[in-house]
Amino acid sequence: MKLNFFARPTPASTLRALYGAIVAQARNPVFYRSYRVPDTVDGRFDMIVLHLSLFLHRTESGDDRLRRLGQGVFDLFCAEMDGHMRETGVGDLAVPKRMQAVVEGFYGRHRAYGAGLAANEGTGLAAAIARNVYGRPEGGPDLPAGRLATYMREAARRLAAQQDFAQGIVWPDAQAMAGRASSHATETMP
C-alpha cells in the first residue's frame, strides 16, 4: 500500500455528517414497521451495520480518496460503539473484548452482504439478512428478508452512482420501496 503523507485528511465534520446519515437511515421507523426488523438494541445495531456495510462497499470500490473516506467513517463507528459501551457502564477492562466482538460481527456481516450483493441473483443476500437481522438460519414466507434484500440492492445501486459524498448520501425511499415490494416479486428465501 502506498501512503500519501500529503493527502488532506477528511474533515471530522464530514465524517460525522456521513455517519449521521447512515445512523438516521438505519433508525427510519419504516424498517421496524414495514420490514419488521426487531425494534431492539440488536435490531437497531444490525440496521446500522447494514447501512454502514452498504456505504463501505461503495467506498472500497473507489479511488484512494473514497477508501480513506470509508475508513474514516468506519473508525468513527468504532469510536461511537466504544463510547456507547463506556456510557452504559461496561468496565474499561471489558470494553476491548466487547469491541473485538463488535468488529468481528461487523466484518462477518459485511462479507456476507458483499457476497450476496455480488451474486446479483439468487437468495444469498436474503439468507444473510435472515440470519443477521432476523436471527433465523432459514426464512419462511412470513419473513421480510426478501424485501430488505430488494432495498439493499437498490441502495447499493444508488451508492454506486454517487461519485461524491460532499452533499451526503442518497438513500432509496424505504417507505416507497416497502409498498412496492409488497405488490411485486422480491428476492425470496429457498
- Structural domain span for residue 162: 12-183
Residue 89: inside a domain: yes
Residue 190: inside a domain: no
Supply the Cα-derived Rg of the chain in whole angstroms.
17
Residue 161: inside a domain: yes
What per-residue confidence (pLDDT) applies to 89?
84
What is the total count of domains within the chain?
1
Contact 18, 169 (CB under 8 A): yes
Coil, helix or strand for 176? helix
Residue 56: inside a domain: yes
Cell of 97: 473484548
Contact 110, 56 (CB under 8 A): yes
Residue 1: inside a domain: no
Cell of 16: 460525522
What is the phi/psi pair of residue 97, to 5°? -65, -40
- Give the pLDDT means over successive 10-residue stretches in the chain (190 positions): 55 93 97 95 96 97 93 95 84 86 94 92 87 77 80 96 91 90 45
Map grid coordinates 454517487 to a residue: 162
Q: With 0-12 CB in 10 A as exposed, 13-18 as middle and 19+ as buried, what is 109?
A: buried
What per-residue confidence (pLDDT) applies to 181?
53
Residue 176: C-alpha distances to residues 31, 34, 43, 160, 172 (Å): 12, 10, 21, 20, 8
Residue 52: inside a domain: yes
Cell of 149: 434484500
What per-residue confidence (pLDDT) applies to 7?
58
Give the contacts of 34 (CB within 8 A, at least 6 positions apart).
Answer: 144, 147, 174, 175, 178, 179
What per-residue confidence (pLDDT) applies to 186?
45
Map grid coordinates 502506498 to a residue: 2
CA distance 24 to 189: 28
Residue 188: inside a domain: no
What per-residue confidence (pLDDT) applies to 61?
92
Residue 152: inside a domain: yes
Coil, helix or strand for 35? coil
What per-residue confidence (pLDDT) applies to 141?
45
Considering the entire predicted model, what is its pTM?
Answer: 0.87
